[in-house]
Amino acid sequence: MADVKALYSDYVKTLETYIMFRIAQETTRLTPELTKKGRAPIKLSMGAPAQRPPEFVINALTKAMETDSMHTYSSTKGEMFFLEAVAERMKKRFGVDIDPKTEVFSLIGSKEGLANMFRTIVNPTLNEKEQDIIMIPDPGYASYKEQIKVIGGYAYSIPLTRENNYMPDMEEVLAQLEKDGFSKDKVKAVVVNYPNNPLGATATLDYLKSVVEFCLKHNYLLVSDVAYADMFFGGEEAPHSIFEVEGAKDIAIEFHSFSKPYAMTGWRVGWACGNADAVSILGKLKSTVDTGVFKAIQKASAEILVSKEGDEYIEKSNKNYEIKQKIITDGFRELGWDIDSMNIPKATFYLWLPIPKKYKTSVEFCQDILEKSGIVLVPGSGFGRYGEGFFRLSFVASDDNLREVIKRMKEDGFYFDK
Ligand SMILES: Cc1ncc(COP(=O)(O)O)c(C=O)c1O
């Protein structure tokens, strides 16, 4: 009898099914039953915009596809027109100088870029005592931990709590790491993600400065994930690039994405930029694994990045998200959540709220509200151990569906109990 499972490596054996797939499977399983009782699922679980990308970028892609030279292999690094558009964008949006020749690399989405970046610095081992450490935000994007685990590294949690205003003192976190029995010499990198998924929390430039200083002092690679940099609300300080901090380029690499600002999640395109050595080693690794992004996609992406249509699209969708945030926060206030004492996010399309006290775990609450009301949420524990007791809601659904969520919760008795 063949046994393919016996061939799996010890690294992949420990992988867990990505939380979003698990939720999607469970939702599909329950859909017929929920639909029958008038509770067809409303998905507030996806970290993805629901609207159509800008017409401008769709037209640019269609046009690019007509050009024969667009259909051949790209260089892994990215075509010069793409790299130059990135440099122009970095200058215009953040006031940062980036050399398109040596400091930018195209990515098949920032998720791919992050995973490969981690691979360039971690020496794989399954022996926990020997493992290289990458410090990651907790709660944080669920992929970081699994990406690090599968390459035989250790993901150490940087606790993001209301008490530390989601901007913890990194020297204190490092002291805690040593108290927990780890060696600070094993730390290779620190990941920062502002605006944060799932919290929606943003960071001040002063805080980013302190993290740069911390990483320079200890020689830890600073990995900045700014997938949500352009998703912020009117009147708020625009989220920063790490390179707005002087000296950051000596130690940092930053990951950018087209997915969220332009609703281009399926296009799979992004970029890494910053420290030339980090960019170069990431590129070297990637050139053994993939052959870059479809040139027509690079062309259309380059055009939207520096266009006024792109900026107008972002501004308009941020206004829409602000309206949606108000619908949902007003609704949760009526349901008893003490919204006004919480930090309402100034960025992203997420809301991070405590579960009602009668539930022991966030999984229990999310399963109950899915089964009874067809409302799909993500349990906070999926984002790390500091996420327990909370859930994440993405207000990417239509305004009507958001109102329907509140209506169902009232009808089905999902109130906040103090
Ligand atoms: C914090 C964060 N980083 C990176 C990504 C990956 O985005 P993409 O691979 O589409 O660029 C996501 C997607 O949800 C995210 O939430």
CATH number of the domain that residue 180 is part of: 3.40.640.10
Last residue of a domain, one of 307, 342, 373: 307
Within a domain: residue 42?
A: yes
Give the residue among 92, 19, 131 at the shortest CA–CA distance from 310.
92
Q: Indicate whether 233 and 374 sit together in one domain.
A: no
Within a domain: residue 416?
A: no
> Which ligand 1 atom is the nearest neighbour of the CA of 113?
9
Residues 6+ positions from 73 with CB-CB distance below 8 Å: 291, 292
Last residue of a domain, one of 307, 329, 350: 307
Name the residue type at position 90.
Answer: M
Q: Is the pLDDT of residue 213 over 70?
A: yes
Q: Indicate whether 69 and 171 sit together in one domain.
A: yes
Q: Tell how far the Cα of 283 is from the centroid of ligand 1, in angstroms.
A: 19
> What tokens does 347 get?
């960025």
Q: Indicate whether 253 and 329 sit together in one domain.
A: no
Q: In the 8-state DSSP scheme, what is residue 245?
A: S
Q: Tell how far the Cα of 52 is from the centroid of ligand 1, in angstroms.
A: 18
Within a domain: residue 418?
A: no
> Which ligand 1 atom is the nearest neighbour of the CA of 270?
11
Q: What average pLDDT does this structure show over 67-92?
A: 97
Region of poorest pLDDT, from 12-21, 33-42, 72-81, 346-355: 12-21
Q: What average pLDDT does this structure show over 379-392?
A: 96
3-state secondary structure of 372: helix
Q: What is the pLDDT of residue 418?
A: 64
Phi, psi dihedral angles at 256 (to 5 degrees): -120, 155
Q: Indicate whether 65 and 201 sit together in one domain.
A: yes
Q: Indicate whether 220 and 108 sit together in one domain.
A: yes
Q: Tell how far the Cα of 121 is from the centroid of ligand 1, in angstroms.
A: 20
Question: Measuring from atom 13 of ligand 1, which residue has the nearest CA?
Answer: 47
Q: Tell how far the Cα of 163 is from the centroid of ligand 1, in angstroms.
A: 26
Q: What is the pLDDT of residue 263?
A: 97
Q: What is the pLDDT of residue 277?
A: 98
Q: Indicate whether 25 and 164 sit together in one domain.
A: no
Within a domain: residue 162?
A: yes
Q: Tell how far the Cα of 111 is from the centroid of ligand 1, in angstroms.
A: 6
Within a domain: residue 298?
A: yes
CATH assignment of the domain containing 385 = 3.90.1150.10
Within a domain: residue 199?
A: yes
Q: Indicate whether 97 and 169 sit together in one domain.
A: yes
Q: What average pLDDT does this structure show over 200-221?
A: 97
Domains held by the chain: number = 2
Q: What is the pLDDT of residue 268?
A: 98
Q: Do 41 and 374 form a contact (C-beta atoms < 8 A)?
A: yes
Q: Tell how far the Cα of 387 is from the centroid of ligand 1, in angstroms.
A: 18
Q: What average pLDDT does this structure show over 338-346?
A: 84
Q: What is the pLDDT of residue 1?
A: 85
> What tokens does 47 get?
């970290």
Q: Indicate whether 299 and 316 sit together in one domain.
A: no
Q: Is the pLDDT of residue 288 over 90?
A: yes
Choosing from 106, 111, 196 the residue with most ligand 1 atoms within 8 A of its CB, the one to mutate for a pocket test is 111
Cβ < 6 Å from ligand 1: which residues? Answer: 47, 109-111, 141, 193, 197, 225, 227, 257, 259, 265, 270
Give the pLDDT band of residue 342 (cuts 50, 70, 90).
Answer: confident
pLDDT, tens digit (0-9, with 9 covering 90-100), for 9-34: 999 988 887 788 888 899 999 999 99
Q: Tell how far the Cα of 113 is from the centroid of ligand 1, in angstroms.
A: 10
Give the pLDDT band of residue 157 (cuts 50, 70, 90).
Answer: very high
Within a domain: residue 152?
A: yes
d(CA 300, CA 65) in angstroms, rounded, equals 10
Percent of the chain topping pLDDT 70:
100
pTM above the 0.85 mark? yes
Q: How many CB atoms lie within 10 A of CB 321?
A: 22
Q: Indicate whether 253 and 369 sit together in one domain.
A: no
Q: Indicate whether 338 and 255 sit together in one domain.
A: no
> Which ligand 1 atom is the nearest neighbour of the CA of 107?
11
Q: Tell how far the Cα of 124 is from the centroid of ligand 1, in angstroms.
A: 24
Within a domain: residue 131?
A: yes
> Which ligand 1 atom is the nearest neighbour of the CA of 225?
3
Tell me the sheet residues that pair with 350. 394
Q: Do 75 and 82 form a contact (C-beta atoms < 8 A)?
A: no
Q: Indicate whether 298 and 326 sit together in one domain.
A: no
Last residue of a domain, one of 288, 307, 326: 307
Mean pLDDT rounded to a whole number for the chain? 95
Q: Where are the alpha helices (DSSP H) in 187-273?
A: 205-218
Q: Is the pLDDT of residue 47 over 90?
A: no
Q: What is the pLDDT of residue 63?
A: 98
Question: Measuring from atom 6 of ligand 1, which residue has the nearest CA?
Answer: 111
Phi, psi dihedral angles at 52 (to 5 degrees): -80, 145
Q: What average pLDDT does this structure show over 381-408?
A: 96
Q: Indicate whether 34 and 96 sit together in one domain.
A: no
Domain of 115? Answer: 55-307
Q: What is the pLDDT of residue 15?
A: 86
CB burial of residue 146 (10 Å; 0-12, 13-18, 19+): middle
Q: What average pLDDT does this structure show over 350-354?
A: 95
